Amino acid sequence: MYDDTCRFLAENFSADFARWLLGKPILLTELKPSELSLDPIRADALILLKSDESVLHLEFQTRPKRDIPFRMLDYRVRVYRRYPDTTMRQVVVYLQPTESALIRKNHFTLERTRHEFDAVCLWEQPAENFLQYPGLLPFAVLGQNADAEATLRQVAQRVNQISDPIMQANLAAASAILARIRLEQDIIYRLLRRDIMQESVIYRSIQQEAEARGEARKQREIATNLLRDGVSIEIVARGTGLSIEEVQQLQQQS
């Protein structure tokens, strides 16, 4: 949910992200991971935006992970192989406060190799910085502030001033989703209008994803029950639409 929201914002408001992280509002377009031969699983959390001069690599994380430094080196080398004359800024953005020392590790070292990248903790960034540009508004409540509810109220006021109804709906939905990291749902919906959010691409996408997860869960439950009754893996796969591999995994777990 948070990954999809951050990806949507970065891809649709790339100029605002460029102002924030590159210091200038340059036009950035999406760089497909397939162009760098990145396997689908690892590419899921990857956001690559490219201009003629540079590449902005973003990763949003709710929790720190030990493999991030190596991944950043891996991505940098892949981009260099494809675009050797292009500069690259790599930023890991942490959304949720943590005391883990991993968030301070912004480099990868191996023998005589050292690669550095940037790590940004939103709770250490002044909330005012995110209130300046539309595409960054949803991050304001996660910024450094004494009162998250008051900050979300400011966000809601700015969102309500946006004349484009589609942009307004998308930013309201994105703000509501990210605000869940800091605030209770009843507070969020008291400040942000739910009727506007329902027109958002993000809101509908999350609803569809939730419905798909529910259907998949139901199919796995049916498959598990059939396996317990002694039905063969092949018949269970045909009857539920799951792959042979998925049914085999369920058999091992049951």
- Domain spans of the chain? 1-124, 127-199, 201-253
Higher pLDDT, 167 or 229: 167
**Residue 207 reports pLDDT greater than 70:** no
* CB-CB contact of 192 with 172 (8 Å): yes
pLDDT band at 27 (very low <50, low <70, confident <90, very high): confident
Q: Which amino acid is at 120?
A: V
Q: What is the average per-residue pLDDT within 51-73?
A: 93
Q: What is the average per-residue pLDDT within 29-49?
A: 71
> CA 112 to CA 104: how far, in whole Å?
21
* CB-CB contact of 232 with 210 (8 Å): no
Exposure of 214 by Cβ count < 10 A (0-12 exposed, 13-18 middle, 19+ buried)?
exposed
